[in-house]
Amino acid sequence: MSDRTARGLTAALLAFLAFALLGSRAPWEPDEGRYIGAAREMVLAGDWLVPQLHGAPHLTKPPATYWAIGAGLALLGMNGWGARLYLALAYLATCALTGLLGRELLGAGRGRRAAIAFGLALLPFVAASVATTDMLLAACETAAVYAWWRARRTGRTPWRLATGAALGLAFLVKGPPGLLPVAGIVAWELWRGRRDGRWRAPWGAATAAAFALVGLPWYLWAMARLPGLAGYFLGEEVAARVASDAFHRNAGFTAGLRIYGLALLAGGLPWTVLWLARAARRLAGRGAARAPRLAPETAFALCWFAVPFTVFLVASSRMYLYVVPLFVPLALLTVGRGPTRETSHRVARVQIAAAACWALLLVGIRWQAAVVETHRDAGRIAARVAPLLEPGPARLVQIDARVHGLDFVLGRRSELRVTRRAATPHYWPERPAEPALQRLAASPLRHVVLAPADGAPRIVSRLGAVGRAARVEPIGRGLVAVVVPARKAAARPRALVVSEPRSVADRFLAADAVYALCEELHPHEVVVVTQAGRSRLAGLLWDLPAEDVTVRTADGPPDPPGVAPPPGRALVVDAAGAVRGTVLAADVPAPGAQSRRKNISVSIASQSR
């Protein structure tokens, strides 16, 4: 088989693995629901700087993964293919970069084998099917390492700039964990310096400048405009994940051995058999001959794997997919160093058949995930909720349900309220359930409330106390739907006139207030008054019908004349054009500004047109 034919078959095999059945299932809870749901709301709001979920800032991770998912949704539509397109591209990019590194480090002919070793491993394939940060992080880290190796070998500035840019992208994907390859590079340089008697700095000013230009601007912007975000990132997302069990992610040293041991042994299939065979041969031949001197390239792959893996073991937050980027150095170690041996046509055919069978088995796993009954599938929950929302209009409220992918599947907005604190910290305070129940009791609209089965009696009792009948429908996953029929509506106001808030935090608070008043008063129109031509607040109101949202600049014709609400406030305007009420701040406090917690209220005023 010619080398060109082998490259073509390898590319076809990996492309098949990347795209086969990629969009065949709905988001699984909780992680996929959060990532895909937040990216969807980012696209609908037209605000790519602040990820949001259920209408609130969602900043448990930097925005690069949401950007990648959002780009796919904007390109292919709000479906599973759009949500996971970035996974296929990141998987193929990582395979290609692994192949390039294999050729650079291990010798001619080894690159293609390294790409296959990574692409056919079980855990990287699974990561290429799950909408999280891990596969995108693997692509960025591998790009950084490849660019660094080329910069070290050639000394050319473009490669140094590419190294910094790739590290900046990794920092935008997952923050400090994206820089773990740097620790492996430093460890290898120290080993080389000790062996050769000289130390060489792994990068220079060009790399640092490129990293700063790519990786830092969003952080600086967000921390300047979102109060308390810097403390949250450093205190919760870095310190708490490393040193505490605040996120409930398999703390304890034995849990680390179990999680990562299984991730390597099972996730490394089919190459685990080869690893164990090599280890057995080394143990059997111990002492028979002196071990050969470790090649620098092999030592580099070992450092790249061992140093980050040690950090993962020590940190208190552990998940199986965290080690996906480490399968790139593992693939290099699996292939080994040296010239490739010529294989007969018969052996080559057997290898191709084995690779094809294993690829079909991997795709079968993806198909099984699409058809299996699981309580994590947001699509199956949505299929049971959708009939209850008909006939519309109806409002969907989640109280302690936390099915984040439900909005993505149904194509609508649900309001998330809680009576129970989440198991993990969040930057934006969670919305309490009681104000939503008060509004629901007074609202004339039809409601469907999704809640845990043990919380439904309290909701039904709370509504029954004010004369609102409700029925309970089982949903699955320990959830029920409390269906509250509509009642005759009072006279509708003509409009809510809202002025554009000045700050990011106030914009989210104002959007909460508008949705609450729309539910309570059911206005005909929402008018957003802004100083600029584009309203970011209007973007947050994406679930309201487009014909019901009007944006006008402050110098446009007043509606009604003389009405100019202060920023972040809204005026209720009746059908005659009279101002009938003033909206106060939403009932969700901004971080670091607890004094903003005020129940939504309306003070009736009289002001003629």
Which tens digit of pLDDT belongs to each residue from 127-148?
Answer: 999 999 999 999 999 999 999 9
User: Which residue from 228, 182, 179 is spatially nearest to 202, judged by alpha carbons?
Assistant: 182
Could you tell me the pLDDT band of residue 535, with boundaries at 50, 70 and 90? confident
Whether the predicted pLDDT of 565 surpasses 70: no
DSSP reduced 3-state for 532: coil
pLDDT category of residue 555 using cuts at 50, 70 and 90: low
CA 71 to chain centre: 13
Mean local confidence (pLDDT), 510-537:
82
Q: What's the confidence (pLDDT) of residue 608?
A: 27
Whole-number average pLDDT of the chain: 86
pLDDT bin (cut points 50, 70, 90) of residue 477 is: confident
pLDDT of residue 296: 87
Q: Tell me what percent of the residues of the chain surpass a pLDDT of 70.
A: 88
pTM: 0.92
pLDDT at position 292 is 63
Residues 6+ apart with CB under 8 A from 280: none
Q: Which residue has the higher pLDDT, 523 or 218?
A: 218
pLDDT number for residue 595: 36
**What's CA 242's distance to the chain center, in Å?**
20
In the chain, the largest separation of any two C-alpha atoms, in whole Å, equals 100
Average pLDDT over residues 507-535: 82
Buried-exposed string 209-245: b where 16+ CB fall within 10 A, e elsewhere: ebbeebbeebbeebeeebbbbeebbeebbeebbeeee
The conformation of residue 415, written as its DSSP 8-state character, comes to: E
Nearest to residue 328, comparing CAs of 32, 84, 31, 127?
127
- Please report which confidence band the pLDDT of residue 459 belongs to, taking 50, 70 and 90 as the band edges: very high
What whole-number distance in Å separates Cα of residue 355 and Cα of residue 151? 34
Instruction: Please state the φ and ψ torsions of residue 204, each to the nearest 5 degrees.
Output: -130, -160
DSSP 211-274: HHHHHSHHHHHHHHHSTTHHHHIIIIIIIIHHH--TT-S--SHHHHHHHHHHHHHTTTTTTHHH
Banded pLDDT at 546 (limits 50, 70, 90)? confident
Q: Is the pLDDT of residue 110 over 80?
A: yes
Question: With pLDDT > 90 as the criterion, what percentage of the chain qualifies?
Answer: 53
- Taking residue 573's Cβ as centre, other Cβ atoms within 10 Å add up to 25
pLDDT in tens, 338-364: 555 666 677 778 888 999 999 999 999
Mean pLDDT of 459-466: 91
Mean pLDDT for 513-535 is 81
pLDDT of res. 290: 56
pLDDT at position 329: 97
Interatomic CA distance for residues 343 and 187, integer angstroms: 37
On whether the CB atoms of residues 478 and 400 are closer than 8 A, the answer is no
The answer to whether 479 and 380 have CB atoms below 8 angstroms apart is no
Q: Which residues of 326-356 are buried (b: 16+ CB within 10 A; e: fewer)?
A: bbbbbbbbbbbbeeeeeeeeeeeeeeeeebe
* Mean pLDDT across 95-111: 90
Distance (Å, whole) CA 315 – CA 253: 9
How far is the C-alpha of 323 from the C-alpha of 260, rounded, in Å? 8
